[in-house]
Amino acid sequence: MSESTETRRRTWGEALAVYLTPRQLIILVMGFASGLPLLLTLTTLSYWLSTVKVDKTSIGLFLLVGTPYTWKFLWSPVMDRIRLPVLGAMMGQRRSWLIVVQILLAVSVFVMGQTDPVHHAVLTALAAVAVAFFSASQDIVIDAYRIELLSAAEQVAGAGTTQVGYRLGMILAGAGATAMSDYMAWSIVYTVMAAAILACAVITLFLPEPKHPAGNRAPQGYAEFLETAVVAPIMDFVRRDGWWVILAFILLYKYGEAFGGAMANPFYHEMGFSGTEIALVSKVYGVIATLVGGVFGGFLVARFGLYRTLMIGGVFQAVTILLMSALAWRQTQGADHDELMLWLMGAIAAENVTAGVASAALVAYLSGLCNSAYTATQYALFSSLMAFGRTILSAGSGWLIDYLDNNWTLFWAITVVMAVPGLALLIWISRLYPDEKRIAPAPAAS
């Protein structure tokens, strides 16, 4: 063929070596900090609500508390360019913002756990919005930190490492919280999560500050801030050919997975699985499968290219959702609990491995899209679109399953169709920018 086995081994070895550096360990920790608070306003919250008998339509609407994730690009220029007084001089631009946000995030998680979603749902929702706001703000800093800390050659591996850390954080906030809820009050569960976030803040004190691009100085005055921190990053992106196609792809690539995932925990609960079983299979076993997929996705990008990996991950993350539909169908046919557990394990394994591959490739793509002069602002814009699909566009998932009269078999089949537009847009982008060695599309000629 085109290359020998020895060359192929050397290529895979080089792909592995890039993961074994101190910088990748730092990215692993950052990924953990980023993944930890996410589920506290998503699936863990939805499970909490389902255990206290909140109706599914309301559970779906609770996804709207994640709205700050979709709007974080609005305040990302402030965090990108404005230096905090005192702390900024002591710790640097990225770390100073990160430590402040992490402390506020821990406080908001603790407060959320003390609320009563049955009798004071508004207070729970407001606290959840605060958690989402500070979590989204943390993501702004962490994403910029990763892109600035790693060289261009390390970005693909960094995307895989980020996914590993991210999923480890989700294990704690998902499996840990769900399992603990079988033995202790939710107020204590959220207190433990708040303590874990504070531990991340302590680690932040010992991390290095990344080097910022030359000329990325704090703006002098309001007019210069608008020009350099707001207008320039946006104009840099919209001058690129097909920029709107890229934004639509980012929005829709993982939409099918997000829409179904919004109702995953209520689905597991209605299938008769206990909190401990959900934690073990979905939150531990499933997240481990995602870790495997995330690392494998990094290898695939390095070995076979970005577009191919995005397509492989996208197709299979859609198709494997049908296993959830099969699980629901088997339940209607009177399958016993042990058989349903085997179906759940198979569905979770397949779905999460492919989702991990897709996520790692997508993070690598988004990182490459960023101009190093506007790292935090541009990545916040891209990830906000992803969050829009996960929150706003997925808020109707609870209404849909109620409308289908709890026909989970049909519900999961519908979510597969929702993945098709994103894959079509990927084909379009690959034709706009066939040279995938340049992950970031070059600005269009003026």
Q: What does the CA dihedral 403, 410, 289, 152 come to, rounded to 10 degrees?
A: -80
Q: How many CB atoms are located within 10 Å of the residue 20 CB?
A: 9
What Cα–Cα distance (Å) separates residue 372 from each residue in 96, 137, 215, 233?
A: 20, 19, 11, 10
Between 408 and 18, the more confident residue is: 408
Q: How confident is the model at residue 4 (pLDDT cuts 50, 70, 90)?
A: very low
Rama region for 353: left / alpha / beta (φ>0; ψ in -120 to 50; rest): alpha
Q: Read off the pTM.
A: 0.71
Q: Is 3 exposed, middle or buried (0-12, 13-18, 19+ CB in 10 A)?
A: exposed
- pLDDT for the residue 12: 55
What are the tokens at 385? 């679109």
- pLDDT for the residue 389: 73
Q: What DSSP assignment string belongs to 316-343?
A: HHHHTTHHHHHHHHHHHTT--HHHHHHH
Lowest mean pLDDT across 151-160, 194-203, 305-314: 151-160
- DSSP H helical segments within 239-282, as ranges? 243-252, 255-261, 264-270, 275-278
Whether 50 shows a pLDDT value over 90: the answer reads: no
* Phi, psi angle pair for 90, to nearest 5°: -80, -40
- pLDDT for the residue 30: 93
- pLDDT for the residue 265: 79
User: What does the pLDDT look like over 309-368, one tens digit per residue?
Assistant: 999 999 998 889 899 999 999 988 888 888 999 998 999 889 889 988 898 889 888 888
Whether 442 shows a pLDDT value over 80: the answer reads: no
Lowest mean pLDDT across 123-132, 175-184, 215-224: 215-224
Between 114 and 446, the more confident residue is: 114
Rama region for 222: left / alpha / beta (φ>0; ψ in -120 to 50; rest): alpha
Q: How confident is the model at residue 1 (pLDDT cuts 50, 70, 90)?
A: very low
- pLDDT for the residue 298: 77
How far is the C-alpha of 202 from the C-alpha of 352, rounded, in Å?
31
User: What does the pLDDT look like over 110-155, one tens digit per residue?
Assistant: 999 999 888 888 899 999 999 999 999 999 999 989 888 888 777 7
